[in-house]
Amino acid sequence: MDTTESITREELNLAPTIAEDLIEQARAEAERQAADYAPGEKEALIQRIKKLLREQNAVLVAHYYTSDDLQQLADETGGHVADSLEMARFGSEHPATTLVVAGVRFMGETAKILNPEKRVLMPDPEATCSLDLDCPPDVFSRFCDAHPDHTVVVYANTCAEVKARADWVVTSGIALPIVRHLAAHNRKILWAPDKYLGSYVRSRTGCEMLLWPGSCVVHEKFKADGILRLKQQYPDAAILVHPESPEDVIALADEVGSTTALINAARRMENRRFIVATEPGIFYKMKEAAPDKIFLEAPNAGAGATCESCARCPWMAMNGLRNLARTLETGDNEILVEETIRRKAVRSIRRMLDFAREHTISAGQGNA
């Protein structure tokens, strides 16, 4: 097989796309979480959560794509708002005995894999990710068996079993330096599951990579023609793109990078206006980092479209104050990972964290 080509979904017997009903279920739950609060309800929930976090020696770690309320609460309670690499690192280094992970399931699993002695809770463990769904462990394992001469590199957006089968785990914040390192050692790479991030990494490193055909249902919808129209309207705007986006969108970018790298770019670049092709939850921290600047959502619905939050990740939006309070109260939604799987998965995640430490890569630096 020509290892500069992607494999098709048909070859792997994967469904042509992620089932629409799964996305609809997530949206329905997200709507329940975001339903209007009765007078005083929100303030009461926040106070209850703060008290429960203190009483249970728990810390809240939230992804940039969660709601403003959750990000604010993480900040106010000594927790952390971060990208997936930094979430993993923070959870490991913090002395709390309970980690409450507001994000999607693979983030909770990563926390548990790295911290088996800690209790890991999530507001809703059904909050998944289309990349994780696109990479069933049994199909993936057979594919790895068929390519024994390849180093297996998987994106963090995968389940524990897939991480257990991998040589390396990477996040978008550290994929480039790790693949450059492997390329320097003449390794051929089997990359999964995000074909767009894989293709971007391949183009930037020149590494020989076989790409699994997964994608993010949010980022793959960003449209180059819509972004170009917006750029015509605001020629002074810089374009910031997460590398889970299609090639023609990445080609327009002034900065491509992980969520942290995009926030850093908004702070650092001199432009006053930015067109941002990633999940709009990021605007909370972007506005904090660069309060005088203007951020526009990149269109993701075809030519001419200008969108109001249509790039919301349906699974990230399942996290809310209501289910966070309930989880802390009941102890339900604990994330557990079977020990033999965990022991294997921890090696590939640790390899990434050790690489970051040895090469002094902090969040947002690995994209250069």
Residues at the site binding ligand 13P, with contacts judged by CB under 6 A: 83-85, 157, 171-173, 216, 244, 258-259
**Residue 130 binds what, of ligand 13P, ligand SF4, none (CB under 5 to 8 Å, by partner type)?**
ligand SF4
Stretch that binds ligand SF4, among 90-98, 109-117, 129-137, 320-328 (CB under 6 A): 129-137
The verdict on 313 binding ligand SF4 (CB under 6 A) reads yes
Alpha-carbon torsion 131, 137, 142, 147, what sign? positive
**Residue 217 binds what, of ligand SF4, ligand 13P, none (CB under 5 to 8 Å, by partner type)?**
ligand SF4
Structure-token pair, residue 74: 């993480």
DSSP letter (8 states) at residue 118: S
Cβ proximity to ligand SF4: between 258 and 271 the closer is 258
Q: Which are the contacts of 214, defined by CB distance < 8 A and separation ≥ 6?
A: 130, 131, 134, 135, 192, 193, 194, 195
| Coil/strand/helix, residue 107 | helix
Cβ proximity to ligand SF4: between 53 and 129 the closer is 129
d(CA 147, CA 134) in angstroms, rounded, equals 19
d(CA 208, CA 63) in angstroms, rounded, equals 32
Chain positions 100 to 119 lying near ligand SF4, rule: CB under 6 A, are: 104
Of the candidate residues 29, 124, 161, 244, the single one contacting ligand SF4 (CB under 6 A): 244
Contact 200, 247 (CB under 8 A): yes
Q: How far is the CB of 311 from ligand SF4 (least distance, A)?
A: 8
Chain positions 248 to 287 lying near ligand SF4, rule: CB under 6 A, are: 279
Structure-token pair, residue 17: 């796309």
d(CA 313, CA 241) in angstroms, rounded, equals 16
Residue nearest to ligand 13P (CB): 83
| Coil/strand/helix, residue 120 | strand
Stretch that binds ligand SF4, among 53-61, 125-133, 183-191, 356-364 (CB under 6 A): 125-133
Cβ proximity to ligand 13P: between 171 and 319 the closer is 171
d(CA 268, CA 252) in angstroms, rounded, equals 19
Q: How far is the CB of 267 from ligand 13P (least distance, A)?
A: 16
List residues near ligand SF4 by CB under 6 A.
104, 129-131, 157, 216-219, 244, 279, 313, 315-316
